[in-house]
Amino acid sequence: MLYYLFNYLEENFDFFGAGVFQYISFRAGMATLVSLLIAMIFGGRLIKILHRKQVGESIRDLGLAGQMEKKGTPTMGGIIILLAILVPTLLFARLDNIYIILMLVSTVWLGIIGFLDDYIKVFRKNKEGLAGKFKVIGQIGLGLIVGYTLFVSDDVVVRQYVNGATGALSAVDASPTYLDVKSMITSIPFRKNNELDYCTMFSFAEPIFGQWACFLYIPFVIVIITAVSNGANITDGLDGLAAGTSAIIGLTLAVFAWISGNTIIADYLNIMFIPNSGELVIFCTAFVGACIGFLWYNSYPAQVFMGDTGSLAIGGIIAVLALIVRKELLIPILCGIFLVENLSVMLQVSYFKYTKKKYGEGRRIFKMSPLHHHYQKVGYHESKIVSRFWIVGIMLAILSLATLKLR
């Protein structure tokens, strides 16, 4: 909103300093600062309100060190994260940008699903919370919205350059002549000619679906959003783990959004230029600021937990951001912590069921899943586990950024 206000003041009154709002770098910096302030100032007040309402986490005794000390710690702290993302984005981003609209819808949509889950757990005293099928339905609903919008919207385009000799189009080989076209291409990491067209990839289904085969992109989007959202939800098991890991991922996606939306840098790095995607930097920096600001209260020992209100939302946000900047195939690397946490649960459950059926007694691969609880059982202190997971997350982020050159 402030972008439009100061743009109006500059055009009509030549207002001193108003032109600075034209710069994404300035608005991104301001979004980070405001999100940090909202998280830290509003967070303290919300924690007091949650204490008064006795919105405490019910802890199931799993025999983990320091676990029962957390009983009664306020949950639903994800509200802090949501507000610290939404308010700066509404203030500093261009709200007519299709990508910003998608991110706002994704944040609110999954935030509501997570809030309902926490509300049922806390106020209805139902430890199961919102039924799993309704969570999945909500995630599928968001996947349909995001996938369909990216697939059909005329505002979602990529810049392709015309080869003067052959007339062929390329998303990376810059030439003086270009077209902003509707295209379902994405980037393949570690490959020199790294364009993948989803319509070509799903052409195998043409005998069954005919001209609708390309629409298989939408179920692909649903799978990505559901997987990453649930991965963040599972990772949220130790103080500061999910928030810190998400901040690292968010900062990496901010870099991708910035270079993908800057024609000069995209040309220099020989990567795909996505018109108008640079505006996502404001959202990304607000997201990073919200996660770091939340750590003010969520770092060990936590004064508040984010609950599903926060964890489902931050996972979905990361997935949608990656899809928009065409880096979704990097998710296994960039979101490696989420992936490993997810896999540890799947492997544990599958192996237990298999051995119980074969030997009449269930056996385990890990002492406990998700993986962070395994390390607790081994004897590592909670803060050490979180710090080392953050270090691994930083290494994965650097490797993800290195794919810009490692081809």
Residues making up the binding site for Mg(2+): 233, 308
Q: Locate tokens 């009664």: which residue? A: 72
Three-state DSSP at 300 gives coil
Q: How far apart are CA 394 and CA 105, in angstroms?
A: 28
- From the annotation, which residues make up the binding site? 233, 308
Q: Locate tokens 């989803």: which residue? A: 198
N-terminal to C-terminal alpha carbon distance within the chain: 40
Q: How many CB atoms lie within 10 A of CB 9?
A: 16
- CA 397, 399, 402, 403 dihedral sign is negative
DSSP string computed for 168-225: -EESSS--S-EEEE---EEEPTT-SS-EEEHHHHGGGGHHHHGGGGGGGHHHHHHHHH
Q: What is the DSSP letter of 77?
A: T
Q: Report the interhelical angle of 336-359 vs 371-378 (nearest 10°).
A: 80
Q: Are 103 and 50 in contact (CB under 8 A)?
A: no
Residue whose C-alpha is closest to residue 106's, from 249, 258, 287, 260:
287
DSSP string computed for 315-346: HHHHHHHHHHTT-GGGHHHHTHHHHHHHHHHH
Q: How many CB atoms lie within 10 A of CB 394?
A: 15
The answer for residues whose C-beta is within 8 angstroms of residue 112's C-beta and 6 or more apart is: none
